[in-house]
Amino acid sequence: MNKEVQEINRRRTFAIISHPDAGKTTLTEKFLLYGGAINLAGSVKGKATARHAVSDWMEIEKERGISVTSSVLQFEYDGYCINILDTPGHQDFSEDTYRTLMAADSAVMVIDASKGVEAQTRKLFKVCGMRGIPIFTFINKLDRDANDTFDLLDDIEKELGIATCPVNWPIGSGKEFKGVYDREKQCVISYSDTEKGTKEGVATEIPIQDEEHLRGLIGDAAADKLLGEIELLDGASAEFDIEEVRAGRLTPVCFGSALTNFGVEIFLKHFLNMTTPPLPRMADIGLIKPTEHEFSAFVFKIQANMNKAHRDRIAFMRICSGKFDAQMEVRHVQGNKVMRLSQPQQIMADERKILSEAYAGDIIGVFDPGVFSIGDTICMPKDKLTYEGIPTFAPEHFARVRQIDTMKRKQFVKGIEQIAQEGAIQIFTEMTAGMEEVIVGVVGVLQFDVLKYRLENEYNVEIRLENLPYEHIRWIENKEEVNLEKLIGTSDMKKVKDMKGNPLLLFVNSWSIGMTLDRNKGLVLTEFSRN
C-alpha cells in the first residue's frame, strides 16, 4: 500500500452538532486534549478568565459565548488523523451548519441528558438524514441530574426516527453518577470527578460478574437497578449492525460528562472504531473514490477577515480525492482557470499553519482573491468534473439596509458583498425610483446583529436596518420562459434579484405563492437556488 492510500485511510472527518448549550464545544476541546493538540481546555463560558473556547475565534463569539461560524480543527490520536468540523449550535446560524455537514463523512450528535432531543437537534438531524450520513450520539452532562435513560433513547427514536444502540449504560446521574457499564467488555467503569482542564482521572474496571466488588463500589441500590436495566436492555435495544450505522439508520449511543472528562475517551475510541475513512463523492461524471482518483476538492465555506492585520478571505475546501501538493497547478472549474492555490493552510481557530501537502478527508484553507464561491469544484488541470452544488436555503427574515454615511458607499458595497459571499446572509436588490435598494435576507435574526457588528468593525461602515414583513421567498426556476414585466402577482409580492442576477419573488403570506402560480400558467417556483 503506498503512502498516499495509507494517509487517506487513516483520515476521519466529522462534524459535531447539537442544540446550544448541550456541551458541544466542551466535548470538542476534550477531544483535542486527548490528541495532545492543546494542554489545557479553555473555560468555554468562563467570563472571569480570559480563556475562550479554542474553536471560537470571532470577536462577537467571544463576547457572547456562542459559536457563530464553523471552525476546523485537526489532531492526531491513536494512529488516526482526525478533522473535526465544529458547527454553530445556535439556530440562527444553521445555514453554516448545513454547508459544514456537506464536508463531513459522519456527525457526532451531542444531547443534554436533562433535556433530551431539542428543537435545533431535530433541524440538524434532518440535514444529516438528507445526506444519509452516519450519526454517533454522545449523551452529555451525566454529572447533573438526568432524565430516565430509557426515556432518553425513546425520545431519540420517536423524535428523530432513528434506531438507537447503547454502547454503554450510565449508572445514576448528578450526585449519584457512579460510572458506566460497557456492554461489549461486560464491565463497569467507575466515575471519578477529574481535574476540569486535564485528562488525568482514575477509572476502575470491574467485571459485571464480580458482584461483590461491584456492590462495594456503587452500593446495593445502584447495583440492583443496573442489573435489572442490563437485562431489560439486552432484550429491548436494537442489535448493533455496522451497516445500519453507516446507512444513517442506527445511532450508537454513549454516555458521559464532557465537563468532568468522564466517558469522552471511551466514546472517542468507539467512534473511531466504527467510522469510515473518507467516503466517495458524487460528481457529474459519477462517484469519485478518494484513493482511486487524483486531487479534487470543493469549497464549502468562505470566511473574510479571519486575520485582522491582513483583512484576507479564506476559502475552506474539503479534499475529496488524492493528495494535494502546495506546488501543484489545479483547475478552478467554475472560473475555468488553471491556478496555484495560494497560501494553503491548516487553521486551528485563528492560528494558522502553512501546508505543503494534504490528503482526501482533510480540510484546507486557501487565500481567496475573490474568485471562489461556495460549492465550487477544484481538480487537476486535465480533469473535467463538477461536484454537486450546495443548496442555498431560503431566508426567513428580511430587512432593507442603508448606510448612514452616504460617502461610504464603496466600503458598504464591498463589505456587504464579501459577507454575502460567505453565505451568512443573502443580498437582493430592487429598483425603486431609479435607485438600487439593498435587501438582506437571513435564516435567523441574530445574523442581522452579526452583519451590523462586522460592517462597523471590519469595514468601518454604520448601517440602519429597516425590517420588512416578507417571510417567504421563491426563486423562478424557468426564468428564461417567463416575462418578469408581465408577471401577475399579489399585493404583498415584491420582485427582486439575487447577487447572480437571478429573479426572485418575496411574499408576506404563504397563500400568495399559490395565487401567483395560479395567475401565471407555466411559472415554476422553487424554495432554494443551486446556482
Alpha carbon 208 to chain centroid, angstroms: 38
Separation of alpha carbons 166 and 255, rounded Å: 9
pLDDT at 306 (0 to 100): 56
Q: Which CATH architecture describes the domain 10-91+105-274?
A: 3-Layer(aba) Sandwich (3.40)
Task: Give the CA count within 13 Å in the CB-facing half-sphere of 310.
Answer: 11
SS3 content of the chain, % helix, strand, coil (to 5): 30, 30, 40
Mean pLDDT computed over 473-484 = 84
pLDDT in tens, 157-205: 998 889 999 999 999 999 899 899 999 889 999 876 654 445 555 667 8
Nine-digit cell string for 478:
424557468
User: Higher model confidence: residue 311 or residue 60?
Assistant: 311
User: Higher model confidence: residue 201 or residue 464?
Assistant: 464
Class of the CATH domain delimited by 281-379? mainly beta
Quote the Cα angle for 501-503-506, to 5°: 130
Among 483, 383, 496, 482, which Cα is nearest to 440's?
A: 496
DSSP state of 144: S
Out of 119-128, 236-245, 380-389, the most confident range is 380-389
Separation of alpha carbons 118 and 135, rounded Å: 16
Give 196-232 as a DSSP string. Answer: TTSS-----EEETT-HHHHHHHH-HHHHHHHHHHHHH
Alpha-helix residue ranges (DSSP H) falling in 311-468: 409-421, 446-459
- The mean-pLDDT minimum among 137-146, 196-205, 309-318, 329-338 falls in 196-205
Reply yes or no on whether the pLDDT at 89 is more than 90. Answer: no
- The mean-pLDDT minimum among 55-64, 69-78, 256-265, 472-481 falls in 55-64
Out of 116-130, 307-321, 334-348, 423-437, the most confident range is 334-348
Reply yes or no on whether the pLDDT at 151 is more than 90. Answer: yes
pLDDT at 8 (0 to 100): 96
Could you tell me where the beta strands, DSSP code E, fall in 229-362? 250-255, 281-283, 286-288, 296-304, 313-321, 323-325, 329-332, 337-340, 345-348, 351-354, 357-359
Mean pLDDT computed over 459-468 = 92
Indicate the CATH number of 397-526 among 3.40.50.1370, 3.30.70.3280, 1.10.10.10, 3.40.50.300.
Answer: 3.30.70.3280
Mean pLDDT computed over 125-147 = 87
Question: In this structure, which amino acid lies at residue 99?
Answer: R
pLDDT in tens, 399-413: 999 989 888 888 898
* CATH topology match: 10-91+105-274 vs 397-526: no
pLDDT at 50 (0 to 100): 38
Reply yes or no on whether the pLDDT at 386 is more than 80. Answer: yes
pLDDT at 68 (0 to 100): 37
Separation of alpha carbons 485 and 331, rounded Å: 39
Separation of alpha carbons 263 and 261, rounded Å: 6
- The mean-pLDDT minimum among 61-70, 324-333, 484-493 falls in 61-70
Reply yes or no on whether the pLDDT at 424 is more than 80. Answer: no
Separation of alpha carbons 424 and 419, rounded Å: 7
Nine-digit cell string for 506:
418575496
Separation of alpha carbons 62 and 66, rounded Å: 7
524 class by beta-carbon count within 10 Å (0-12 exposed, 13-18 middle, 19+ buried): middle
Backbone region of residue 357 per phi and psi (left: phi > 0; alpha: psi in -120 to 50; beta: other values): beta
Handedness of CA 507, 375, 125, 59 (dihedral sign): negative
User: Higher model confidence: residue 508 or residue 445?
Assistant: 508
Quote the Cα angle for 42-47-49, to 5°: 55
pLDDT at 432 (0 to 100): 62
Question: In this structure, which amino acid lies at residue 42?
Answer: G
pLDDT band for position 95 (50/70/90)? low
pLDDT in tens, 268-304: 999 998 999 999 999 999 999 999 999 999 998 887 6
Out of 232-236, 279-283, 343-347, 368-372, the most confident range is 279-283
- Mean residue pLDDT across the chain: 83
Q: What is the CA radius of gyration of the chain?
A: 25
Reply yes or no on whether the pLDDT at 74 is more than 80. Answer: yes
pLDDT in tens, 17-65: 887 778 888 888 888 888 776 655 443 333 333 344 544 444 545 554 4
Structural domain boundaries of the chain? 10-91+105-274, 281-379, 397-526
CA dihedral 326, 329, 331, 336 (to 10 degrees): 130
- The mean-pLDDT minimum among 102-106, 256-260, 450-454, 527-531 falls in 527-531
pLDDT band for position 378 (50/70/90)? very high
Looking at the chain, the whole-number percentage of residues with pLDDT higher than 70 is 84
pLDDT at 318 (0 to 100): 94
User: Which residues partner with 331 through β-bridges?
Assistant: 338, 379
Q: What are phi and psi of 59, to 5 degrees?
A: -50, -45
- The mean-pLDDT minimum among 55-69, 297-311, 359-373, 506-520 falls in 55-69
